[in-house]
A and B are shown apart, each in its own frame.
Chain A
Amino acid sequence: MNLWARFRSWTAAMLRRTRMEREMDEEMRFHIEARAADLVSRGVPQQEALRQARLEFGWMEMTKEECRDAVGVSFLEAPAQDVRHGVRTLLRMPAFTVITVGVLALGIGANTAIFSVVDAVLLRPLAYRDSGRLVAILMDGENPVSVANYVDWRDQSHAFAAMGAADFWSPNLTGVDSPEHVAGLKVTQDLFPMLGIQPTLGRLFVEGEDKDGADREVILSYRLWQRRFSGDPNVLGKPIVLDGNAYIVVGVMPPGFQFAPFWATHSELWVPNAFGARVHNRGGNSLRVFARLKDGVSLTQARVEIAGITGRLEQQYPGTNRDAVVTPLKEKVVGQIETPLLVLLGAVAFVLLITCANVAHMLLARGAARQKEVAVRAALGARRGRIVRQFLTESLLLGGLGGAAGLALAVLATRVLIAMSPTNIPRMQTVTIDLRAALFLFSATILTSVGFGLAPALQASSINVNDTLKEGSRGNSEGISRNRLRSLLVISEFALALMLLIGAGLMIRTFAALQAVDAGFNPHNVVSMVVSVAGSREADPARRPIFYHQLIERVRSLPGVQAAGAINHLPLAGDLWGWPFIIEGRPKPRPGESPSGVYRMVTPGYFEAMRLPLIRGRDVSETDKATAPGVVIISERAAREYWPGGDPIGKRISFDDDKTSPPTWLTIIGIAKDAKQDDWSATPFPEVYLAAFQNHDFLGDSGSEVASHTSYITLVARTASDPAAVAPAMKEAAWSFDRNLAISQVVTMDGVVADANAQPRFEMLLLTIFAAVALVLAGVGIYGVIGYSASRRTHEIGVRMSLGATRGDVLLLVVRQGMWLALAGAVTGLAGALLLSRLMTKLLYGVRPTDPATFVAVATGLGFVAMLACYIPARRAMRIDPVAALRCE
């Protein structure tokens, strides 16, 4: 059919429709007038006759609707008709509509928001070309690799199209306005081409640029380019000063580009990685290795090949190459957050299920009131399918309105989620309500509408027409099956709510357990900042120690500061270096089995400022200078691990590798309490604290490659009151020495501890919100069912009371019915929780997934809510006047 014909047929149909409407109206008016005339002729007064005739005829609109139906409506007109009818029905009960739409909006909106997070963080491929083929190769799947090993893997493997590596490098950017400590990476030349991302401006590194001496180019991130160079395209070819050296800008990456994706995620610049002498180094592990699988090569094949290569290398160089693991890059990025997010998605889906059950409830209750309407339509020949369709249209209308409101809610919710989310969730900033989220919302809306609408629709369409239409019928037939369905809904609502509450309860206990964890130090009223000398005058080894000394002294003398010191890396916030050492007088350990410790360098005053107690021995002091004998403080764990049962104080250790002879020995002078390192819930590793002012890397005159990573200190100050208030004075104190000092990571220790617990707090908060919503919905659900059932039983209760039942008996009767439902729900929910809480194991700390206390507390609490929800209708039932109840029959 062409368009014109289609239009003609449509207009014809419309004209026919109008005529039919007019004739229908006239025909029915004639009927009523004729009937009235008959009545008048029998002596009924005119007015009364008309009224009676109309009454006898019934609801004219409904009849017309049925007539239109009988004539058959085109597939285009039918839904429109259903929608019209649905809108009318919903408008007739505004309170119901508003509440239902609100509840649905909450459920659908929350689900969409969480889905958009899951989608952006978990589901979406990484933003590199064909990113599914990218892998990371790391020791134990997480630790860095030595340069020599990387070179061997790259040269000996065939499974990879390319293999690149990156070192973390955080230089001082100077020469433009204020100096800044910038996070960056040193990357091998083949790394960026492997990712398949083209720069917005300029070019990537080319072959040969990662060779020694040719490595003075830099690629900027879009953000850094905008922030420090105002997006100036002429920046290409110009030098910028990093750690005092000039680098030529060769390119700017596109906005949103991020590398590396799972570590050093805030990198804002990239320079070539010239290995130099490190190319023979198998001891210092600092490289993260990335590779692209060759086409046709599977992950397993690549793993087998790497296992073969590392196996050979291990034989050649014992103690190296153990446990190199090939992991898909995406798994590295999302692996940690996957379980928590899926748990949250499950939880919010539960909320939606409860919402569905609740709305289904309300529709069922309303369906009871609409039995007559349905019966009339059925008697007039409306097919069951037609009635089901009408009811479903109403449900879809409700759901659609809920979905629309939910969309607005989801947009809002994602903003809140992004703002409150812990910083360690990758790609969180990319969360938006986009087409995929909208599609999810749409499907959720349809499914939800059918979910809550189908049962009431089927129920409504299956009524017994004759019984319902009989005059005076109270629709007793609805009794059993309808009530059974409603009871089932309440039971499932309770079970779901209980599971959510247990999840939230376990998270709350986890969080409480985490709050009770002893950090080792006292984080209250401590402020810290990283001061970097790189690129400034103070970097000069001749000036550096004097500067550090004077800076700490000046901070100590600031008003409000009680104690101050410095360390290389702040616990929980800073880097973590693990270094092997040897113990004097012990046989040389086998390769890979030497003692090791987290390597810290501290100045006098650090332990005092952190209130990290020394269990025994003494603190490092001003006399522990470069010229004095080397000293070291070890942690309790190190003492236990390496001197079990013995006294480590006075013993000597050395970090020199066995090539140097004789090694520089450090005498253990004290044992410090264990302090948290990078993971709040983990047991700390053995730790060693060297005296900073006798360490040549720290002082900058060792000439070793490590020195370039030690050109900064982390100042730590204990304050009398609000630590953040002292931070500006501390910065000024540093800049009063040299305006070119880069100051970064100004944090309070309380903030650091909060950040370390941000993820469990986030999980706890969301689960608790979901559980609270679930609790309210379930409470309302049981209240609705018991209230409804009690009101249907008014007559029965009246009979019981007139036969001598006391008010107490009535109370018990009503409450018992509700409590049975609650009990059934609780038992189901407990069983479900026992099965499902295992999935949360990864999220928990200090509490088992089947924690009896949580289970009992939640079940009791929920029981109490159920009791309350039943008590209100029960009280109403108690007040029934038996005489009135019986008379109204």
Chain B
Amino acid sequence: MDKQLDLLQGTLDMLILKAISLSPLHGYGILLRIQQISKERLEIQQGSLYPALYRLEHHGLISSEWGESENKRRARYYRLTAAGKRRLLSEAKRWNQMTAVIAGILQATPEEL
């Protein structure tokens, strides 16, 4: 299998929610966080991050405020809202159920049938 995995359409939202659930982050920080957690195995087109952020904010799942970055620059920080937390939980649950089901199918042996 390829070292870098294609991002499934729609999963980017979940990854963003997860990344900022740990601490508020600016856009570039979110990118680094996802790459770091995934051990560089996920490739995200950098530009594609922002429309997702704007959409999540528009839906009230995250909120943003301007703050100062580690190198003293003005940056926009995103944090999870209560709705965002609920959404992350339900998405994670759904995802785990699905991976379990699919993993079960893939591990099936002839004897089990």
Contacts and interface: CB of A to CB of B under 8 A. Distances in A.
Contacts of A57: 46-47
Contacts of B107: none
Interface in A788-824: none
A69 B51 contact: yes
Given A27-B76, A57-B47, A381 B52 contact: yes
Contacts of A513: none
Nearest to A30: B75
Most buried by A among B10, B28, B57, B71: B28
Given A34-B28, A34-B69, A63 B50 contact: yes
Contact of B55 (A60, A62, A381): A381
Given A30-B69, A33-B73, A70-B58, A380 B48 contact: yes
Most buried by B among A23, A28, A62: A28
A56 B47 CA distance: 8
Interface string A352-381: 000000000000000000000000101111
Contacts of A469: 45
B18 interface: no
B52 A63 contact: no
Given A31-B28, A379-B45, A70 B51 contact: yes
Interface in B25-53: 26-28, 31, 45-48, 50-52
A840 interface: no
Contacts of A380: 48, 51-52
B9 A67 contact: no
Given A27-B76, A70-B58, A58 B69 contact: no
Contacts of A66: 48, 50-51
A63 B9 contact: no
Most buried by B among A34, A35, A379: A34
Given A66-B51, A70-B55, A56 B69 contact: no
Contacts of B48: 58, 63, 66, 376, 379-380
Contacts, number: 85
Interface in A1-38: 23-24, 26-28, 30-31, 33-35, 37
A466 B6 contact: yes
A277 interface: no
Contact of B27 (A31, A37, A58, A381): A31
Contacts of A466: 6, 9
B95 interface: no
Contact count band on B? 20 to 34
A58 B46 contact: yes
B74 interface: yes
A772 interface: no
A376 B52 CA distance: 13
A59 interface: yes
Nearest to A55: B46
Contacts of B74: 26, 30
Interface string B56-82: 011000000000010101111000000
B41 to A, nearest CB: 16
Most buried by B among A23, A69, A70, A466: A70
Interface string B1-29: 00000110110000000000000001110
A465 B7 CA distance: 11
B71 to A, nearest CB: 7
B36 to A, nearest CB: 12
A26 B74 CA distance: 9
A27 B75 CA distance: 6
Most buried by A among B10, B31, B55: B55
Interface in A55-113: 56-60, 62-63, 66-67, 69-72
Contacts of B26: 27, 30-31, 34
Contacts of B27: 27-28, 30-31
Contacts of A71: 54-55, 57-58
A381 B74 CA distance: 28
Given A59-B47, A72-B58, A23 B52 contact: no
A330 to B, nearest CB: 61
Contacts of A465: 9
B59 to A, nearest CB: 9
B28 A67 contact: no
B23 to A, nearest CB: 17
A840 to B, nearest CB: 55
B54 A67 contact: yes
B73 A30 contact: yes
Contacts of B57: 71
A33 B54 CA distance: 20
Interface string A459-491: 000000110011000000000000000000000
Nearest to B56: A70
A379 B73 contact: no
Contacts of A24: 50
A37 B69 CA distance: 13
A35 B28 contact: yes
B88 to A, nearest CB: 18
Most buried by A among B48, B52, B57: B48
Contacts of A72: 58
A378 B9 CA distance: 9
Most buried by A among B9, B10, B46: B46
Contacts of B45: 58, 376, 379, 469
Contacts of B55: 70-71, 381
A23 B76 contact: yes
Contacts of B58: 70-72
B87 to A, nearest CB: 16
Contact of B47 (A23, A33, A58): A58
A34 B74 CA distance: 11
B26 to A, nearest CB: 7
Contact of B51 (A27, A56, A63): A63
Nearest to A378: B9
Nearest to B66: A23
Contact of B54 (A60, A70, A376, A379): A70
A371 to B, nearest CB: 16
B46 A35 contact: yes
A23 B50 CA distance: 12
Contact of A62 (B6, B9, B47): B47
A380 B76 CA distance: 20
A27 B74 CA distance: 9
A378 B76 CA distance: 25
A56 B46 CA distance: 6
Contacts of A470: 6
Nearest to B73: A30
Contact of A70 (B9, B52, B69, B71): B52
B60 to A, nearest CB: 12
Most buried by B among A23, A57, A376, A465: A57
A60 B69 contact: no
Contacts of B31: 31
A57 B28 CA distance: 10
B8 to A, nearest CB: 9
Nearest to A26: B74
Contacts of B51: 63, 66-67, 69-70, 380-381
A351 B46 CA distance: 48
Nearest to B76: A27
Nearest to A37: B71
Most buried by A among B47, B48, B69: B47
A46 to B, nearest CB: 15
9 contacts: A27-B26, A27-B27, A27-B76, A30-B76, A34-B73, A56-B46, A71-B58, A466-B6, A466-B9
Interface of B: 6-7, 9-10, 26-28, 31, 45-48, 50-52, 54-55, 57-58, 69, 71, 73-76
Given A27-B76, A66-B48, 7 more contacts: A31-B28, A35-B28, A63-B47, A63-B51, A66-B50, A67-B50, A465-B9
Shortest 5 CB-CB contacts between residues of A and residues of B: A58-B47, A70-B55, A66-B51, A63-B47, A70-B54
